[in-house]
Structure 1
Amino acid sequence: MSSQGLVHGPLGAKCLHVCVDMQAVFLPGSPWANPWMERVLPAVEELAIRHADRTIFSCFIPAENANASPGMWKRYWRKWESSTLERVDPAALRLVPSRARLAPPARIIDKRVDSPWTEGHFEQLLGSGEVDTLVVTGGETDVCVLATVLGAIDRGFRTVVAADAICGSADETHDAAMTLYTSRFSEQVEIATTDEILTSWR
């Protein structure tokens, strides 16, 4: 997917970088391995280093076990029982080391669902009127990144997806999500490269 660029102009002082779920549990060797995650890590890191004090890392925290989950999450965690808190190595849930060393000043928010918007803490971190633009990186393009982007759209944030700093575990659905961003949400989502974002965001 080629970059559209920042069609709505430069990024301002009210911009914030949201890095989605760049955790060790998604690295190769895990049941949830994302084969493209290592490839996008340098771009994500470049953004986070340059704007560490304007970065929030979200971390996906599994359920304790399937029975502790509501509704259809029970079915989900039965399938992924090996990744529940009862079974998974706690170290796997931490940010990959190159991200963890940036916090602080970067901030971390834990979430137990795909979206960071549903548990209350995320919007508190954004502050009232202190942020008007979100730059989104991380994984996966078609799941937690998608949930993050849709929540930003609903709340009226200018939303910039860093094309070379997001990843999915399946090319087909990654490409489909990118097409969704640029077609159905073309007025609300901009697709830009990390270089374009860094050049514009000063």
Structure 2
Amino acid sequence: MGKKDELSYGPLSPRTTVHLCVDMQRLFAEDTPWRTPWMPKVLPKVVELAAHKPDAAIFTRFIPVERPGIGQGTWKRYYERWADVTLERIGRAMIDLVPDLRAFTPPGEILDKQVYSPWIDSDLESRLQRRGADAIVVSGGETDVCVLAAVLGGLDRGYRVVVATDALCSSSDEAHDAMMTLYHQRYGQQVETATVQTIRDAWT
């Protein structure tokens, strides 16, 4: 597949498409150890996408553990390294969505998770099944971490996956660019990539 700004498989159904917005939270937008510097730059595009179909939005939130020493396997070591972002230190207010997106809940839904993937130990799939969903538009952050996990989980379950190219962010420009190349060249048969405007035009 090429890198043209188009949807290879035609329009998106207004009834069976869901917008999965990944981890657009204060924790990553504000002055914390996990700040994603260009989240504010892409936020207007994420808002534009959410505003297009507010009732089709599911917003994930990454929830750190309560305190260092908690966690299974490598996650325990992870939070020893990142002790300053555990809930007892960072405060629960920081896990909230950024205010511009919190305004869309409701009708948009919130899905909390404690790992990169929104598909593990969550009811995401049952929520999608209740909606009769067959397609997922993905936005948010980070391109090379939680967004990647959301995309691959969707593919594994057979959903049509569309990545909103101008509504993604990462703290690593190099990793973001590498992931976009990967989506085009390695997953191009299954992953569609397009700008928010193109997605909106195809989702009416």
TM-score w.r.t. the length of structure 2 is: 0.95
CA-to-aligned-CA distance 1:64-106 (integer Å, 9 cap, x gap): 1232200000111011100001211211110000111110000
**Pairing partner for 2:103 from 87, 101, 107:** 101
2:89 alignment partner, SS class: coil
Q: Does 1:182 align with 2:176?
A: no
8 Å CA contact 1:65, 1:81 repeated in 2: yes
Deviation at 1:128, TM superposition (A): 5.0
What is the distance in 1 between the residues matched to 2:179 and 2:196? 18
Question: Per-residue deviation at 1:129?
Answer: 7.0
Are the counterparts in 1 of residues 70 and 79 from structure 2 also a CA contact under 8 Å? no
Aligned mates of 1:147, 1:3 — CA distance in 2: 24
Deviation at 1:120, TM superposition (A): 2.9
Q: Are 2:5 and 2:198, in contact at CA under 8 Å, matched by a contact in 1?
A: no
Listed one character per residue, the Cα deviations across residues 32-80 of structure 1 (whole Å, up to 9, x for unaligned) are: 1101100010010011111110000000000112322000001110111
For 1:164-183, list aligned pairs within 5 A: 164-183=166-185
Classify the secondary structure of the residue corresponding to 1:67: coil
Over the matched positions of the two proteins, sequence identity in percent amounts to: 49
Q: 1:2 to 1:167 in 2, by over 3 A?
A: farther
Name the TM-score, length of structure 1 as normaliser: 0.96
Distance 1:91 1:120, change over 3 A: closer
Question: Is there any run of 5+ residues in structure 1 with no aligned partner, and where?
Answer: none
**Residue type of the alignment partner of 2:166:** D
Contact 1:6 1:190 in 2 (8 A): yes
**Hey, what does 2:198 align to over in structure 1?**
196
What is the aligned length? Answer: 202
